Amino acid sequence: MKDKLKWLAAFAIPAFGYLMFETTTGNLLHISFPRAVINLLFYYFLYILVYLAVNRFRAAAAGTTVVLYILAAADYYVLQFKGAPLLLPQDLTAWRTAAAVVSNYHITFAKSVACGAVLLILMLLLIWRLRMEKLTWKKRGIAAGCYVLCLTAWLLAFYRYDIKYTLAGIDDDVFWWSLEGSYQDFGYATSTAILAKSMIIEKPAGYSVSEAARIGETVSYESTPVSETTPENLIVIMNESLSDMRVIRDFQTNQEYFPFISSLTDNTIRGSLYVQVFGGGTSNTEYEVLTGHSMALLPYVISAYQAYCHPEEYGMVSTLKAQGYTAVAMHPNISGNWNRKNVYQYMGFDEFISSGGFQEAERLRNYVSDLGDYQRLIERYEEKEPGEKLFVFNVTMQNHGGYEEAFPDFRQEIQAGGDVAGYEQADRYLSLMKKSDEAFAYLLDYFSRVEEPTMIVMFGDHQAAIENGFYEALYGKSMKELTAEEADKQYVTPFIIWTNYELESQEIDKISANYLGAKILETANLELTDYDKLLLKTWDSVPALTKNGYYLADGSYTAWGKNTEKPEELLDYQKLEYNAVADRKNRIDELFTITP
């Protein structure tokens, strides 16, 4: 009898591990029974794998359980900080970035994490009382063979025969609308398994190297100059978390938080930029702008810089360098954030000014302020050689997440009112937007007095992960009730192109980040690659690739889906992007470069 109870308890350990994990994440009660069964199978495969590998039951069970608890607690807090679940393996490769900013986040007591800790202790006590004999080599071999057969059958059923849909109703089209909601409703193991499959870049239908070459050779695009001047200084600023949430719905504040930016009319092109990330994942917006590749046409990963970038990464940098510009990257934080130290070398930047170059800069909430950042940028401009053409790509830090805590060096000036009043994080964030506005006024005032033709571009990388209740108040409904098009409003930031010379002012309703680099080059009267021309031609037909769908030129919206028939321009674009990203050994370099 004791042996039967012992084996029953041992068999129940993976189920207890599942209960502990999803209790810690706070998602346990959201997961339906069929979905729980699918998750449980993944836990059983994990525990058995570790047991067969070490052949020590207590060590395998205890070690796996402790690691699962740490992962679950990390997932809970990552979700609080950046509004997205902990995604493996991409988030683990970005640990340097996380370490660099974690001091600005306030870790609070969480009941779910505490309950998970209680379950962890009870599980460890149970495991300690279970003494299991080591398997003989023969039994271990037989068990390993059975394990491989069962695992193979399960993965085939899960991926090939869509058991996740037929059994649990996990529709891939719905899954992508909200990763946070998907992890909550479908469970961590199942959601991660779906993402793991999606990380494989599938070859577009009809793709071949010769087809990519044909597309590049036949692309035709008539550029429409908005100025006869080419700037000697091209400054592109990706402003951390800069956004205007009035794109969702207008709301009251005690004073305007973008008074200067809103007043810009002369020599200004402005509009709405559609990005692929929310609350975090800064480098993906950066990747889209600098390379022209759309994350919407690639598998979901938390960092394109980690997954897709390699030496000789063509894009804005190589195009500008071929036309005589010195390329300088600036970021007032650790150079290893999002693998920038390596990626900037791959792209061809001549210089990278990171945290060490901002030692004396003004700080706000422990980060270099936008004003301090721009003052250092101006210093670098003043250091350039006479006649040197300068391209600066500057990633700011002032507005980075960590809005839970008040800082003594930061005076909050903005308070939201009406039906969105009372959200402290939102008020802190909006007050930071006013600081960004003031700093931008300082920067433009300086360059308005510079004689050299200068173009300054500023855009936000994503909206901020502040209180969910604030966004739901803006929408007037639960986030789970949003349509795909409504949800995409959380993926819109402002962009501005300003010059100190004559420029035809424009208002651009929609442009996604993957087109912005080509648009900047066109606006600056610079030579374009064939890929840039294809990007601008595609933009004319499909002005915005969004997180959940895309817009056509007539304003109609189409959600991404299995049976979505993409426009021809988009299909051509996807083939060239595949050639550049996934088929690098056969990459047609002349399509992505120009001859100096």
Nearest CA to 399 out of 421, 428, 378 is that of 428
Retrieve residue 76's tokens.
């809970």
Distances from the Cα of 154 to the Cα of 44, 95, 158, angstroms: 12, 32, 6
Q: How many CB atoms lie within 10 A of CB 522?
A: 20
Q: What is the pLDDT of residue 246?
A: 97
Q: Which amino acid is at 398?
A: Q
Q: What is the pLDDT of residue 214?
A: 96
- The stretch 363-392 carries a mean pLDDT of 96
Nearest CA to 570 out of 154, 204, 58 is that of 204
- pLDDT tens figures, 59-76: 988 999 999 998 888 888
Cα(220)–Cα(216) distance, rounded to whole angstroms?
9
- The stretch 216-222 carries a mean pLDDT of 89
pTM: 0.79
Whether pLDDT at 351 is above 90: yes
Q: In 552-595, which residue ranges form alpha helices assigned H by DSSP?
A: 568-581, 589-592
* Least-confidence region, from 210-224, 330-344, 406-420, 557-571: 557-571
The angle at the Cα of 71, spanning 134 to 51, to the nearest 5 degrees, equals: 10
DSSP state of 416: B
Q: Which H or E run includes 428?
A: helix 424-448
Upstream peptide bond of 408 is cis (omega within 30 degrees of 0)? no
Cα(256)–Cα(433) distance, rounded to whole angstroms?
10
- Say if residues 86 and 382 touch (Cβ distance below 8 Å): no
- pLDDT tens figures, 128-177: 888 777 888 888 888 888 888 988 887 777 776 555 555 555 554 445 44
Retrieve residue 169's tokens.
């109703």
Percent of the chain topping pLDDT 90: 62
Cα(169)–Cα(156) distance, rounded to whole angstroms?
17
Cα(77)–Cα(82) distance, rounded to whole angstroms?
9
- Angle of helix 33-54 relative to helix 188-198, nearest 10 degrees, comes to 80
Whether pLDDT at 279 is above 70: yes
Q: What is the pLDDT of residue 90?
A: 55
Cα(485)–Cα(560) distance, rounded to whole angstroms?
11
- 342, with CB counted inside 10 A (0-12, 13-18, 19+), is middle
- pLDDT tens figures, 445-471: 999 999 999 999 999 999 999 999 999
Cα(246)–Cα(385) distance, rounded to whole angstroms?
43
Q: What is the mean pLDDT of the chain?
A: 89
- pLDDT tens figures, 14-45: 999 999 999 998 889 888 888 888 889 889 99
- Say if residues 273 and 493 touch (Cβ distance below 8 Å): yes
Whether pLDDT at 534 is above 60: yes
pLDDT higher for 220 or 377?
377
- Say if residues 477 and 409 touch (Cβ distance below 8 Å): no
State which of 27-41, 78-92, 184-198, 518-532 shows the largest mean pLDDT: 518-532
DSSP state of 210: H
Q: What is the pLDDT of residue 518?
A: 97
Cα(367)–Cα(362) distance, rounded to whole angstroms?
8
pLDDT higher for 431 or 10?
431
Q: What is the pLDDT of residue 79?
A: 74
Q: Which H or E run includes 244?
A: none
- In the chain, CATH 3.40.720.10 sits at 209-592
502: CB partners within 8 A, 6+ apart = 227, 228, 229, 267
Cα(547)–Cα(298) distance, rounded to whole angstroms?
12
- β-partners of residue 394 are 237, 330
- The stretch 575-586 carries a mean pLDDT of 96
DSSP string of 58-125, one letter each residue:
HHHHHHHHHHHHHHHHHHHHHHHHHSS---TTHHHHTHHHHHHHGGGS-----HHHHHHHHHHHHHHH
- The stretch 488-495 carries a mean pLDDT of 97
DSSP state of 399: T
DSSP state of 253: B
Nearest CA to 277 out of 10, 434, 451, 460 is that of 460
- Say if residues 286 and 461 touch (Cβ distance below 8 Å): yes
Confidence of residue 409 (pLDDT cuts 50, 70, 90): confident
359: CB partners within 8 A, 6+ apart = none
- Say if residues 362 and 368 touch (Cβ distance below 8 Å): yes
Pairing mode, strands 325-330 and 506-512: unpaired
Nearest CA to 299 out of 578, 512, 576, 588 is that of 578
- β-partners of residue 545 are 550
Q: What is the pLDDT of residue 253?
A: 97
Whether pLDDT at 514 is above 90: yes
Nearest CA to 240 out of 326, 331, 327, 165 is that of 331
Retrieve residue 7's tokens.
């084996």
Domain 209-592: assigned CATH number: 3.40.720.10
State which of 102-106, 546-550, 561-565 shows the largest mean pLDDT: 546-550
- pLDDT tens figures, 79-120: 776 556 766 555 555 555 555 555 555 667 789 999 999 999
Nearest CA to 525 out of 393, 346, 394, 389 is that of 389
Retrieve residue 8's tokens.
């029953």
3-state class percentages of the chain: helix first, strand second, coil last, to nearest 5: 55, 10, 35
Letter string b/e over residues 353-364, b meaning 16 or more CB atoms within 10 A of that residue's CB: bbbebbeebbeb
- 125, with CB counted inside 10 A (0-12, 13-18, 19+), is exposed
Cα(341)–Cα(568) distance, rounded to whole angstroms?
37
The angle at the Cα of 276, spanning 514 to 511, to the nearest 5 degrees, equals: 45
Q: What is the pLDDT of residue 250?
A: 96
